Amino acid sequence: MSSSKIAIIAAAGIGSRLGFNLPKCLVKIGDYPIIKYQLDLLKDFDQIRIVVGFKAEEVIKIAKEIRKDIIFVHNKHYYETGNVHSAHLASQDLKDPFFFLDGDLIISEKSFNKFVKFSNKHKQTIIGISTAKTQEAVFVKTDKNLNIEGFSNSPRFKYEWAGVAYFHNLNFHNQNDGFIYKVFEPLLPLKGFNLDLFEIDTPEDYQFALGHFKDLIAK
């Protein structure tokens, strides 16, 4: 295809750091769960795959109320595995490029649409980054053109790994566990794209998002 219209949302985890006993995609910010904001972003995509695990039935029920044609992929080992395994399960039959989103993100629509346009134009793997906001982030070292040179838990850099990426000619067939950013490391440098978003991973993230998400989605 000339441009990718496939998206994978990783929503299998238990959200232990947030502490709501819910998959993070079902946490409400404002009037809606996070998954609603994400599916609205992807409304023009031809195919959406959601990886489910913890409380899968609840995620499926709510997502189907928003969009009927979603493909659900079950990560039966969600307690022991991370998002690389989820991405591997959801993408193993794909030959076309695809977009990947962690299930705990609220992203500015304008910002995301620019990311999609940029990614489809460049026809290469693009890594989503955002201005560093959290203490436990995976920080991203970049050059002045936002080419990514490395990932680090320390020292702290201006940007952090955003949990969003465009995968072009890149698969997980030889690496199906661990962290997504580890898949990128052998391929660096890669292009980065700065996104306006909130990650809802901790109680502090949640409180911050409650106070600021309306400004974000209005961008």
CATH class, 6-218 region? alpha beta
The residues near 108 (Cβ < 8 Å, ≥ 6 apart) are: 195, 196, 197, 216, 217, 219
Residues with Cβ < 8 Å from 65, sequence gap 6 or more? none
Residues comprising the chain, all counted: 219
Listed by start position, the domains of the chain span 6-218
Over residues 112-119, mean pLDDT: 96
What is the structure's pLDDT at 129? 98
Task: Check whether 84 has a pLDDT greater than 80.
Answer: yes
Record the pTM: 0.94
State the first-to-last Cα distance of the chain, in angstroms, to the nearest integer.
30
Give me the percent of the chain exceeding a pLDDT of 70: 96
Which tens digit of pLDDT belongs to each residue from 19-78?
899 999 999 999 999 999 999 999 999 999 999 999 999 999 999 999 999 999 999 999
Q: Tens of pLDDT along 118-146? A: 999 998 999 999 999 876 789 999 999 99
Helix (H, G, I), strand (E, B) or coil at 184: helix
Nearest to 59 by CA among 86, 94, 96, 92: 86
